[in-house]
Structure formats: structure tokens, C-alpha cells
Amino acid sequence: MRNGRKSKTSHTPPSQDIGRSNQKSLREKSDKPSGGQKGHEGHTLLMRETPDEVKEYHPDYCNHCGTDISQVPSTLIERKQEVELPPLSAQYIEHRNFQKQCSCCGEVVKSQLPAHLHASIQYGATVAATIGYLSVYQCLPYQRLTALLKRLFHLPISEGSVQNILARLHANALPAYECIQQKITESKVVGSDETGVSIGGKKAWFFTWQNESLTLLSASFSRGYDTISERFPKGLPQAVLVSDCWAAQLKTPAAQHQLCIAHLLRELANFESALNCEWSIQMKQVLTESLLLKKKLTPADYDKPQIAVLQLNNRMAALLATDYSHKHKKVQAFHKRLQKHQHSIFTFLHHPKVPSDNNASERAIRNLKVKNKISGCFRSEKGAHQFAVLRSVVDTAIKNTCSVFDAFFNIASFSAE
């Protein structure tokens, strides 16, 4: 789609739309009404039995005759509550160190200040955690972040100080980051994806490797296999690696690979709409049936041969054995790609915890796009690496039901131990 042109907005032929991002959703229309479903657990704002402050309103005069009734006992008839935030202001905590002289031997004894105090005045762990939360999790750029701290907390802080605090958070988070990488290496199921970003005005990429409990992000100026081998020199030997058809991902040593079925279905749907390709319709049907079968499989089913899985494999093999050299070149390329990686299409039907798609990796990598849209590009490679490390730790904390702010507070407090 050169210069943003497509068949719907220019004279570009529909065949050139194949593989483009303007594809229809794969989600089927549901017979359920929109909104919350009947019987679902709802959530509402509840009143507190013991409020922090109570304001009482008693009538002092009779509205009918004007008699003073201020001393007449009142009867409570109604309660209403509103939720307010207290005035916010930064606290300045002074640490004072004293000494005493022993009355027995004359020795002068000094107390010890907390080890994390290095300067005459410095920002504490809650300030660092708040900056990490706003910058890495809420993706605020430095200028808006410093303005928010000044307006809400009356805390004057420069963009340079924000940068220094994020650098310290990054240094403190490195042990946790390395631990995440090691656990990913030992995982049985790993999803991986990559997306383009701008670092210092140059084209770069962020990679992710993730599973149900871990997220690892890494920034690189290369989208090739070199980036993967640098992070995982021996590959992921114990894992089923779920990815799209990017060659660098498929080159990664792994126990098995799983192609993202959602990616394949989107391409097939595009072939169907743009080319009315009968082969694409049949292939789409096989993949759709495999997704329905996955939902029906019980944990015990994976331990025994499944006739339904064998039938799907046979239908897939028959479709891939058909000669489509006379078809559109993009259909030919897609057909050849599936032939090459046929053994990685239905892996998810043989492992209960292997997903059929790579949506979890796309969700993990989407934070980079949010960061780009709100804050713009990364100014330096160092800043990109800092974000990758901190976001990895934070997303891992979220997956393990930990508070994001608490995670940043713990990272900020490491130096105080």
C-alpha cells in the first residue's frame, strides 16, 4: 500500500490489498446482546460502615412556625456518602544523627543513619515508585510527568532528576530481569513477537518472549536472528515456541513450534475476499474446525490418539499437496510457507497449555505502541533498554497479581537494603 493507498481509496487494484492491515475482524457475530450478560457478577460503589469523616445536618428551626428546636433530639433518616481525595503534598522527612559520650570510659558513640541516605537531600522510594509508575506504566512523557508532580503533590522536580531516578530503578531491576530471562529459558510454553519502534530517530525493534506468568522485553536495532541468539544463545530447548511466520522466530531452536492460527486465518480471509480463492476457503474451514476441536478437548484427551486430530491433519496434507502454481503469487507464497512448516500448524492440539494464537505476545508488545503514541520515540538506546527492563518486571508482577505501584516501590527500595 504505497503512500497509504488502497483499493477503497484509490485506483490500486484489490489484489494489492492482500496482506495489508485493513482486514476484517475474524470475530464471528454472537447471538448475545451487547453489554453485561444476565447473571454476571456486577460491581458497584459501596458505602463504608465506618467513614473517615461524618458531617451531620440537624434542623434548628421549625419550617412551619419558626420555633427554636435546636435542643430537641434528632432522628437519623438518611445517609449519603461521597468519596474525596485528601490534600496532597510531598513530605520532607529529616533524619538527624546524634552522638553521645560514654560516662564510664569517655568513648564518643555515634548513631547510624539509614544506609540509603547518600546526599544531604534526596528523593525517597515513594517518589521514585511514583515516577516509575507514571513513566513506564502510564507512559507519561517527562514534561507532563513533572507538571503532574508539581500540580498534585507540590513537588518541584526537573526532567533530569526524573531521568536519573529511572536509571536507578533500571539498575535495581536488573537482577529481577535476569531472573525472568532464566525462567523463560526453562519454560515449557513461550510466545514471541516483535514490533518496530524509533530509537533516536533510527528504525529499531522491541522483542517479547512471554507466557502466563512472565514477560521479557528487549530492544534492538536488528529484527534478525542475531537479536534472538544474543538473548537466548541456546534457544528455548524445552519450549513450544508460539509465533507468527517470521523467519527469525522459526529459526529459534525449540522443542516444537506453533504458528499463530489467527495470523493464518487473517491472510486466508484476505485471499478469500480479494481473490475469491476456493483453496483459501477450504483451508480456512480446516483451521476453524481445529479451533473448535481445541475447545472440546479435555486434559485426558491429550494422552491418547485423537481421530478428529488425525482427520484434520489428513485434510491439511491434502490441501497442501495440491498444485497451486497457477494461482496468485501471494497465494503461492502462503501455500509454500505452510508446506514448509506443516508440522507446526496443529501443535496446539497435542499440548493442553499451548495456545492456538500468539495474541498474548501481541498484547505484551502493544505497550510499546502506546508508549510511542503518548511519549513519542525513544531518545536513546539507553532509554529504550531501561523501559524494556522496567516494563518486563512490571508486566510480570501484573501477571502474578501484584500491585504495579508496589512493584515499583520494591524496586526503588532495593538500594536501601
Tell me how far the alpha carbon of residue 49 is from its chain's centroid. Answer: 37
Residue 289 has φ and ψ, to the nearest 5°, of -65, -35
In the prediction, which pLDDT does 4 show? 47
Dihedral sign, Cα of residue 220, residue 222, residue 226, residue 229: positive
Q: How many CA atoms lie less than 13 Å away from 409 in the CB half-sphere?
A: 6
Question: pLDDT, tens digit, for every residue of 177-191?
Answer: 999 999 999 999 999
257: helix, coil or strand?
Answer: strand
Instruction: Return the pLDDT at 374.
Output: 83
**Residue at 50: amino acid letter:** T
Per the rule left: phi > 0, alpha: psi between -120 and 50, beta: everything else, 89 is beta
In sequence order, what are the beta bridge partners of 68?
61
Q: Which cell goes with 376?
A: 513519542
Give residue 277's pLDDT. Answer: 80
pLDDT of the residue at 411: 94
399, 413 Cβ separation under 8 angstroms = no
Residue 26: the pLDDT is 62
Q: Using alpha carbons, list the distances in angstroms from residue 28 to 24, 25, 209, 322, 360.
A: 11, 8, 29, 29, 20
How close are the terminal C-alpha atoms of the chain, in Å? 55
Cell of 246: 517470521
In terms of Cβ atoms closer than 10 Å to its own Cβ (0-12, 13-18, 19+), residue 278 is exposed
Percent of the chain residues past pLDDT 70, beyond the cut: 91
Cβ–Cβ < 8 Å for 179, 393: no
Q: Concatenate the DSSP letters of all residues of 250-271 into one string.
A: HHS-EEEEEE-HHHHHHHHHHH
Q: Residue 79 has what pLDDT?
A: 93
The pLDDT, as a whole number, for residue 372 is: 83
Per-residue burial over 22-34, b if 16 or more Cβ lie within 10 Å, else e, is: ebeeeeeeeeeee
Q: Which three three-digit cell numbers place residue 194?
A: 516483535
Which residues, other chains included, contact 128 with Cβ-Cβ below 8 Å and sequence gap of 6+? 165, 168, 169, 408, 412
Collect the ranges in the chain with pLDDT lower than 70: 1-31, 35, 325, 415-417
Per-residue pLDDT at 17: 58
Q: Cα angle at 346 between 342 and 347, to 5 degrees? A: 105
